[in-house]
Amino acid sequence: MATRDLYAGLMSGTSLDGVDAVLADFSGGTFRVLSHAHAGFDAGLRESLLALTVPGFDEIDRAGNIGGLLARMYAHAIDLVLMRAGLTASEVRAVGCHGQTIRHRPEHGFTLQIGNPALLAELAGIAVVADFRSRDMAAGGQGAPLVPAFHAVAFGDPAEDRAVVNIGGIANVTLLPRAGPVLGFDTGPGNCLMDLWAQRHLRQAFDAGGAWASGGRPIAPLLARLLEDPFFTLPAPKSSGRERFNAGWFERHLDPSWDPQAVQATLLELTAETIGRAIEAARPPAMRLIVCGGGARNDALMRRLRKRLAPVAVDASAAHGLAEDQVEATAFAWLARCAIEGKAGNLPEVTGAGGRRILGAIYPA
Tell whether the model's pLDDT for residue 75 goes beyond 60.
Answer: yes
Tell whether the model's pLDDT for residue 49 goes beyond 70.
Answer: yes
Rounded to whole angstroms, the maximal C-alpha distance in the chain is 68
In CATH terms, the superfamily for domain 6-143+325-363 is ATPase, nucleotide binding domain (3.30.420.40)
- Note the pLDDT of residue 243: 87
Residue 281 phi/psi, 5° resolution? -80, -10
**Could you give the CA distance from residue 310 to residue 219 in angstroms, rounded to a whole number?**
23
CATH topology of domain 148-320: Nucleotidyltransferase; domain 5 (3.30.420)
> Residues 204-208: what's their mean pLDDT?
94
- Note the pLDDT of residue 1: 42
Residue 345, CA atoms < 13 Å, CB-side half-sphere: 31
Cα-trace Rg, the chain = 20
Tell whether the model's pLDDT for residue 79 goes beyond 70.
Answer: yes
**Exposure pattern of 219-229 as b/e (b: 16+ CB <10 Å)?**
beebbeebeeb
Neighbours of 235 (CB within 10 A): 6
Average pLDDT score over the chain = 96
Tell whether the model's pLDDT for residue 35 goes beyond 50.
Answer: yes
> Residues 264-278: what's their mean pLDDT?
98
DSSP-based three-state secondary structure for 50: helix
> Using 50, 70 and 90 to split pLDDT, how confident is the model at 14?
confident
> Residues 326-340: what's their mean pLDDT?
98
Please list the helix, strand and coil fractions of the chain in percent, rounded to the nearest 5, in that order. 45, 20, 35
So where are the chain's domains?
Answer: 6-143+325-363, 148-320
Tell whether the model's pLDDT for residue 81 goes beyond 70.
Answer: yes
> Using 50, 70 and 90 to split pLDDT, how confident is the model at 72?
very high
H-only helix segments in 86-142? 117-124, 133-138
Tell whether the model's pLDDT for residue 2 goes beyond 70.
Answer: no
Q: What is the pLDDT of residues 297-327, one digit of tens each?
A: 999 999 999 999 999 999 999 999 999 999 9
Q: CA 275, 276, 281: angle at the middle one, nearest 5?
A: 100
